[in-house]
Structure 1
Amino acid sequence: MSLIIQQVIGYKEKNMGIHLDSNDSFSQKVYWINKLSGELPETNLMLDYVRPLFSSGKNKSFSFDLSDTLSQAIIKLGKGSYFSIYLILLSVFNILLPKYTRNNDIIVGIPVYDKIGIDCINTKVIPLRTQVKPQLSFKDLLLQVKDAAIAAYSHQNYNFDELIDLLALPTSPNQHPIFDIVVCLENIHLKSNLNQLNNDITISFKVNGENISADIDYKEHLFEDENIKFMSRYYTNILENVINNIHTQTSDVVLLKKFERYQLLTEFNNNIKQYPVEKTINQLFEKQVSQTPNNIAVIHQQNKLTYQELNCQANQLAELLRKLGVCKGEFVGIFKDRDINFLVAILAIYKAGGAYVPIDSTYPPNRIKYMLSNSEVKLLLTDFSLFNLLPGLVEGCSELSSIICLDSIVNQDIPLAKQIGLKIYDKLDFKQLSNDNVEVINDAVDPAYMLYTSGSTGLPKGAIVRHDGAINHIYAQFDELELTQEFCFLQSAPSSTDISVWQFLAPLLIGGKTVIVDIETVAIPDKLFQALKSQKITVVELVPALFGGLLEYTSQLPIHERELPCLKWMMVVGEPVSVSWVNKWLEIYPEIKIVNAYGPTEAADDITQFIVDKPLPENQRTVPIGKPLANLNLYILDREMQLLPIGAPGEICVSGIGVGDGYWKNEEKTNLSFVPNPFTDVSQKLPENRRDLIYKTGDLGRWLPDGNIQFLGRIDHQVKIRGFRVELGEIETFLGQHPNVRENVVVVQQDEPGNLQLVAYVVAKTEAVPSISELRSFLKEKLPDHMLPSAFVMLENLPLAPSGKVDRKALPKPDNLRPQLETVYVLPRNEMEHAIADIWQKILKVEKVGIQDNFFELGGHSLNVLQVYSKVRELFKADLVITDLFKYPTISSISRYLSQEENDESFTNQSNELNEQLEAGKARLKQRFLQKKQQNV
């Protein structure tokens, strides 16, 4: 190792102190541009608190000593050279840092000096950039760090302020623009000169004879003390691994000791409970019917059924399904709106031995056709109001043989009945059948339902969940929320979502009540509030956007009017909820606890949850998603499926009885996401006929010191918009199918906390540039509402990073991002137009709106429509329906409608054209813009 010193000293003695001429300055500039141009890696530890705009608070320090044995081994390897020892300590830190940054490209700050020795003088700190490749041995990494350090010191005299300007690096009064962490050795660096650097963490080592000590100085307003202590422990673990075996590959370094591994695998997953997972949902429901036959089981509008009545109706329909040949584990489609009959259909399918597949009637026709065809359902349950949509949807569905109308008597001469091989049944065909329980033929390991989720290839994936997984989730929630027969659940989620499953079924397994409401009731705050109060709801589950709307509404009510005496739990799901909203709710309703739940469809809905019963620190970054629910094991893993320590971000993975059966007829995707569990020695015990699999969620999270998990977002390009899981690749696939689109990329932009927007950046073919309205209409025919970009930005070319990939950070930022309109701005002309414009501006968050601007081209979506509807109705006391806002999407048109003015010719033409589009799909248009509000996938 003394050779390193000789090389550095020799070079420095030859070159230091010599005045750099212009050529030397130019060569230094070129060196640093090559080193730092392009996208710089994130090299900070994950922050525990929100970074303030300006520096606040003081630095704290945590000190630790390396053991005598370890210190002496390091000194021996460095042959007593301070600089060699520094390189060893620095290289080990470079092994640790990727565990926290999920990036092998590392930049840290290293102090420079005029000569090596005790009397050194610091002048500044320069960046050291290295690549920590997993296949490198520690020895090779050490040599790489040495070479990088020599090169960096050889170019240390460049003016970095000039470089920051040249590379247009963002600057902040509270963060260093290039590196966040500085590593130094006090024997050769003056630590006191590092105080003004504005970096977040400084790690300083000191050799005291034959011992090495360390201090970690950190900003107390950014980091929790415990996470800094954990970092020092893991650093020491790595040192112990490599110091006596320098040929160890960095990928083989053992980060965790046995007791730390035990804590992650066993202590944090100590949640074994006994639930009736050997039964099916239909068996448990029938048992509850025998116990509470006269209790009200379900309510929808003015209709209600007792447990006995619900069971009898489900038995009659199940008899028909059995007669039509439904087999054990077979999929049966449900294509209808949510009501009591929807719940009857679910139970009947279970009793017949099948599994249900909800197919959303508001989806675009091509998506519905794909689901019908891909699921290979032989039977489809529906309502008469949807019969007019079915002829075009069932074409090509060769497996489909029968359609059952649940709510009416069907004329056998209708067009649908004439389709070759298709048999039509109606309620007369099952209402006269026996209402006794049918023989149980399904088992707990059989499929209970299949839900279609967004797919990156443009085709949705069918995720299959078993009875035992769904039952485990329901009973785990019974325990967590201490639910009893008083349990009254608001069934508000679209039927195509996993949250709807337990909203429909959970109360029925404990003697409680399910109250089904339409999506308009849930999406409009005053209606939601009245439903919670009048129906005496005890548990409600909302996505953050709807939670925020309810919170805003109730906060404006007088104290005596805002009471919700029956509500016990406010569950917020689907997307991260802000700390400020949680605290505001608890300020208004201190007795109604918030449940922040998290879980994927593929693992039977919620797998963790965190109960908030008191306000959180205002500077806390996020609300934790909590600890694993019963009989589930949670892991935070790196790309090599290795356990990550407390505080380090990795993929959230789950094993246990809740993990589903994979994706229907998609072996490739199943094998990628459902993998054998390598931790079987400590995992939950499963039935003999169940494989022990881990589901890789694709979500990023980290363990907190108390055993809770913090959610950090998606790893890939899959995101959640208003509670819906969206593959950005699916949108890009369809947008790329437009004949005049050359290339495109879709990203998520956030103009304010909690307001996520899909933005499509489009490069058109030179021969024909499509209009934005054309692109929007094109996607509207292929994608559901929640997957439509709020804005389209036309670019000449997509910005590329040096790697050749799209440089997403170089795309226009939200501050400069507003939808491009194709209309001339026209000022409001009267009081009504001014009032509506003001509503639009506040809800869409745009500076100005013209009366000819199209609401949807301004970035409006279905939630915005509901907000506008509520505000306009309140302001003008108008007899307005939701569909009127789609008929009249400009301020000019809606104000004329509200004023009952005579339409001029242009207005009539526009209205007629929109009405033609409305009539083509009127049955689904209303819900298309309403139904996507309440979802947790």
Structure 2
Amino acid sequence: MGLHLHSNDLLSQKVYWINKLSGNLPETNLMLDYVRPLVSSAKNKSFRFDLPNNLSQVILKLTKGSDFSTYWILVSALKILLQKYTRNNDVVVGIPVYEEISTDCVNGKIIPLRTQVTPQLSLKDFLFQVKDAILGAYNNQNSNFDELIKLLEIPTIPNRSPIFDIVVLLENIHAKDNLNLVNNDITISLKVNAESISANIEYKEDLFQHESIKSLSRYYINVVESIMNNINIKISDIVFLKEPDKYQLLKAYNNNDREYPVEQTINKLFEKQVSQTPNNIAVFHEETQLTYQQLNQKANKLAELLRKLGVQKGEFVGIFKDRDINFLIAILAIYKAGGAYVPIDSTYPQNRIKYMLSNSEVRFILTDYLLLNSLSLLVEDCSKLSSIICLDDMILEKTQFANQTGLKIYNKSDFAQLPNDNVEHINDACDPAYMLYTSGSTGLPKGAIVRHDGAINHIYAQFDELELTQEFCFLQSAPSSTDISVWQFLAPLLIGGKTVIVNIETVAIPDKLFEVLKSQKITTVELVPALFGGLLEYTSQLPSHERQLPDLKWMMVVGETVSVSWVNKWLHLYPEIKIVNAYGPTEAADDISQFIVNEPLPENQRTVPIGKPLANLNLYILDEEMQLLPIGVPGEICVSGIGVGDGYWKNEEKTNFSFVPNPFTDAKKRLPENRRDLIYKTGDLGRWLTDGNIEFLGRIDNQVKIRGFRVELGEIETFLGQHQNVRENVVVVQQEEAGNLQLVAYMVAKKEPIPSISELRTFLKKKLPDYMLPSDFVMLESIPLSPSGKVDRKALPKTDNIRPKLETAYVLPQNDIERAVANIWQEILGIQQIGIYDNFFELGGNSLLAIQVISRLRKVLHTDIALRSLFDEPTIAGISHYIESVREKVKKLLVVSSASVSDREEIEF
């Protein structure tokens, strides 16, 4: 094929490239296997492969022996493949200049080739688009690209090409000289040898594994073969996977069938365990403990009352109270009565609690007397609510509240004398076990329903994975509104182990957490990364003989991504205590995969994998069309099998969107006859690794996890947008340091005066839980947009550069207490200068950081400071005044204790 190209003047060439490279340049590369080093010292490695002879001959016949046309076809196939790898239709690769053109450029110069890969386009149309783009690039190949990079303000970083990462060339028409000066990551060299086509992939060994490059070559051949078989095919219909590839993804990677008692209910399995180990300690909280028999009898009494009140098979019953032994009794009693429990966190904002009570349509709520006053303000719109049962020992006057609301209120005396025998079972394995409310993008949380069989499968799969026995002692530390809490409460009770319940303060303060792990001989602990990091920092500072945890076998890290460096640091301190990196959505009964780390990972590994699917579950990585994606290609993590729940309560639209029929008939697991085989689409991004593990890559949409709680950023944006003076806003997650994710709200005000930070925090605090409150608020003149009109999140200023403007003048600490407080705040918040009237939460503080502050203050100042104090007094001046008052009270008490009786009568408090 002859080329008749005309040379353009340099000005017109510059205009061509400015138009071609304007806007945000996409990253066109394979996902890296290792962290990119600042300076690369590793040599490039290569992998050679041949296209099958028959395929080579088809290409050469179609192109009639033209080297240019052969190159054009092969480049088009690569771009189609890279569109899958990058999840971006905008694809840029580097191509060498075409030396047949009369040009002043130097041998080995590489120019960018940018084209759109539109899935709905026909292959024939796409091929001609690529041809035109190649010719356009060659017609303008004399431009000074160093000058263009500066002109277009394209970011440059060491050890990387600024515009493209992959170069593709045909040795028959391109020179390979000086390619090492380009600093790209991958070079694909193609060559026509008589009637065959060969290829060589040269890649940076410190970025990619050999198996990843080998997989790329296999899928590339598949694409070339697919397009040669049908030149009129749509891009979206091109075959990336052959039957052996599909078998590997559907069968080999999901080969995990197991026999578990999923035809039973949790209450039946618990009662069976009671008969086997009646005198074992089942649960411990503070100074109270119960044996299996005692726990069972107490649950039976409460279940008798619930059954008398009319709890129906599969009915939802609310639990509105703090976590303690009575909470566990409530769960078991609800199961025995035939119902399913709905935990409702009493610390949530009133509007959220009201919605959950109303939406769940619960007729019965289990609570404590101290929460009755709170409930009286929340049950106005709960037309179906009929009874409230108080579980604690307090007996207070209850008629006033009952008269106000028309509700029947019961206390412990109403069921303490009831029979303690097991009640007749009326629920089945297919009935709901619990409903948890998750964050909703519309501002309303969704009730995710999980059945007994799904919950049991998860628990028994973990018994197998972690080799758990009667020695299993589990720390129950997660809030009751999270899926983590479910198996923390229940799993030990199905195997003869012990559940140890602790409050949030204990688990959030490292020295207290360490002490309970040791004193209670905990064998398994499950923490979100922020709490794991706090414990890791604390134990690393202890002498080796003091840091020992001889009973702990498993450290489970869940909820968010954990860094490789933290995992390695833990294994260095505790080589015998394995790390379990678990992953799973609420909608599929908690964990659906996990990766066990037995030994330190390579320091340059990017992430800790989330592992392989748990027993009786299938995992898939799918594209937007629900098609299987090749190994290494990012897509949505989806799950099928018995763990998949029953959808969202009274939300058919959301249920039908996220729970879809399973099209992969070859990979179906054995399910009960009454169960539909559904796939749950998690909305999370991941990819298969070549060893059959999955790497988690974040949320596809704007949903993230903060300290183990799932958060949809759209929900926060919805409520923030309801403020009368916020015109538009966007909320993002930023990671200031490893394991510490922060919510940041960017806003544009409607008019003066601009709302203050404290005003915005107060406004949101009435509508959202603490974990959903942004740490930073940044006011902008406008929200940056991409060329397509979408919010350009990458263009939002980092809070490292723009801190929220504080609303008080800087005032130095005035005394020793204020200086001690300021030093601790500065260390924990990472801010160098904090005034005594600056607000802790406006500086980026959150509830977990507040707990760390209180813990440090107690240690440094030797004063018993209440956890709530920092929330009540969020300035250095305020908390310092509080500390002084506590110290004064202590002094007076000391005086009283040493004074005579007559002297004490004269002392005023």
Query: Which TM class, normalised by the smaller chain length?
Result: over 0.9
Partner of 1:187: 172
Deviations 1:365-417 (A, max 9, x none): 00000000000000000001111111111111111111000113544545421
Deviations 1:70-119 (A, max 9, x none): 11111111111111110000000011001111111111111113425999
Root-mean-square deviation over aligned CA pairs: 1.7
Alpha-carbon distance, 1:817 to partner: 3.1
Counterparts of 1:159 and 1:474 in 2: how far apart (Å)? 62
Partner of 2:632: 647
Deviations 1:146-186 (A, max 9, x none): 01112222222222222222222211011111111111111
Residue in structure 1 matching 2:744, options 754, 759, 763? 759
Map residues 268-667 of structure 1 onto 2, 5 A cutoff. Answer: 268-667=253-652
Give 3-state SS (helix, strand or coil) of 2:181's partner. coil
Partner of 1:240: 225
Partner of 2:133: 148
- Does structure 1 residue 847 correspond to structure 2 residue 832? yes
- Does structure 1 residue 729 correspond to structure 2 residue 714? yes
Residue in structure 1 matching 2:809, options 802, 805, 824? 824
Q: Is the 8 A contact 1:50 1:621 kept in 2?
A: yes
Which letter does structure 2 place at the counterpart of 1:213? Answer: S
Give 3-state SS (helix, strand or coil) of 1:605's partner. coil
Alpha-carbon distance, 1:725 to partner: 0.7
- Does structure 1 residue 204 correspond to structure 2 residue 189? yes
Which letter does structure 1 place at the counterpart of 2:683? Answer: G
Deviates further, 833-842 or 669-678: 833-842
Counterparts of 1:119 and 1:527 in 2: how far apart (Å)? 72
Which letter does structure 1 place at the counterpart of 2:717? Answer: E
Residues 322 and 182 of structure 1, relative CA distance in 2, 3 Å threshold: same
Q: Is the 8 A contact 2:278 2:291 kept in 1?
A: yes
Runs (4 or more) in structure 1 with deviation over 6 Å come to 117-121
Q: Specify every segment of 5 or more residues in structure 1 that has no aligned partner in the other structure, as ranges.
A: 904-937
Alpha-carbon distance, 1:851 to partner: 1.5
Counterparts of 1:727 and 1:713 in 2: how far apart (Å)? 13
Q: Is the 8 A contact 1:680 1:692 kept in 2?
A: no
Counterparts of 1:506 and 1:250 in 2: how far apart (Å)? 48
Counterparts of 2:532 and 2:556 in 1: how far apart (Å)? 9
- Does structure 1 residue 720 correspond to structure 2 residue 705? yes
- Does structure 1 residue 169 correspond to structure 2 residue 169? no
TM-score (norm 2): 0.96
Counterparts of 1:120 and 1:731 in 2: how far apart (Å)? 54
Q: Is the 8 A contact 1:114 1:120 kept in 2?
A: no
Q: Is the 8 A contact 1:490 1:514 kept in 2?
A: yes
- Does structure 1 residue 39 correspond to structure 2 residue 32? no
- Does structure 1 residue 213 correspond to structure 2 residue 166? no
Alpha-carbon distance, 1:688 to partner: 0.8
Alpha-carbon distance, 1:253 to partner: 1.2
Counterparts of 1:93 and 1:409 in 2: how far apart (Å)? 72
Alpha-carbon distance, 1:835 to partner: 2.7
Alpha-carbon distance, 1:592 to partner: 0.6
Alpha-carbon distance, 1:125 to partner: 1.4
Partner of 1:811: 796
TM-score (norm 1): 0.93
Partner of 1:136: 121
Q: Is the 8 A contact 1:819 1:859 kept in 2?
A: no
Counterparts of 2:207 and 2:794 in 1: how far apart (Å)? 24
Partner of 1:88: 73
Counterparts of 1:420 and 1:772 in 2: how far apart (Å)? 38
Deviations 1:706-758 (A, max 9, x none): 11111111111001111111000000000000011100011111222222111
Residues 902 and 321 of structure 1, relative CA distance in 2, 3 Å threshold: closer
Give 3-state SS (helix, strand or coil) of 2:319's partner. strand
Alpha-carbon distance, 1:832 to partner: 3.3
Alpha-carbon distance, 1:830 to partner: 3.5
Identity of aligned pairs, percent? Answer: 76
Map residues 45-60 of structure 1 onto 2, 5 A cutoff. Answer: 45-60=30-45
Q: Is the 8 A contact 1:113 1:123 kept in 2?
A: no
Alpha-carbon distance, 1:814 to partner: 3.9
Give 3-state SS (helix, strand or coil) of 1:64's partner. strand
Deviations 1:320-368 (A, max 9, x none): 1011110000000000000110000000000000000000000000000
Give 3-state SS (helix, strand or coil) of 1:689's partner. coil
Counterparts of 2:701 and 2:134 in 1: how far apart (Å)? 34
Which letter does structure 1 place at the counterpart of 2:45? Answer: K
Counterparts of 2:181 and 2:108 in 1: how far apart (Å)? 12
| Number of residue equivalences | 888
Counterparts of 2:651 and 2:176 in 1: how far apart (Å)? 58
Counterparts of 2:284 and 2:398 in 1: how far apart (Å)? 34
Partner of 1:790: 775
Q: Specify every segment of 5 or more residues in structure 2 that has no aligned partner in the other structure, as ranges.
A: 889-909
Residues 117 and 249 of structure 1, relative CA distance in 2, 3 Å threshold: farther
Counterparts of 1:173 and 1:459 in 2: how far apart (Å)? 46
Counterparts of 1:593 and 1:723 in 2: how far apart (Å)? 20
Counterparts of 2:497 and 2:774 in 1: how far apart (Å)? 40
Q: Is the 8 A contact 2:322 2:346 kept in 1?
A: yes
Residues 209 and 771 of structure 1, relative CA distance in 2, 3 Å threshold: same
Q: Is the 8 A contact 2:618 2:667 kept in 1?
A: no
Q: Is the 8 A contact 1:602 1:660 kept in 2?
A: yes
Counterparts of 1:745 and 1:631 in 2: how far apart (Å)? 40
Counterparts of 1:104 and 1:633 in 2: how far apart (Å)? 29
Alpha-carbon distance, 1:897 to partner: 3.2
Q: Is the 8 A contact 1:409 1:428 kept in 2?
A: no
Counterparts of 1:280 and 1:884 in 2: how far apart (Å)? 44
Counterparts of 1:870 and 1:412 in 2: how far apart (Å)? 38
Residues 250 and 896 of structure 1, relative CA distance in 2, 3 Å threshold: same
Counterparts of 1:176 and 1:752 in 2: how far apart (Å)? 27
Alpha-carbon distance, 1:121 to partner: 6.4
Alpha-carbon distance, 1:141 to partner: 1.3
Residues 31 and 510 of structure 1, relative CA distance in 2, 3 Å threshold: same
Deviations 1:232-255 (A, max 9, x none): 000001111111321121111111
Counterparts of 2:473 and 2:876 in 1: how far apart (Å)? 41
Which letter does structure 1 place at the counterpart of 2:544? Answer: I
Counterparts of 2:223 and 2:659 in 1: how far apart (Å)? 31
Deviates further, 305-314 or 405-414: 405-414
Q: Is the 8 A contact 1:121 1:189 kept in 2?
A: no
Deviates further, 884-893 or 770-779: 884-893
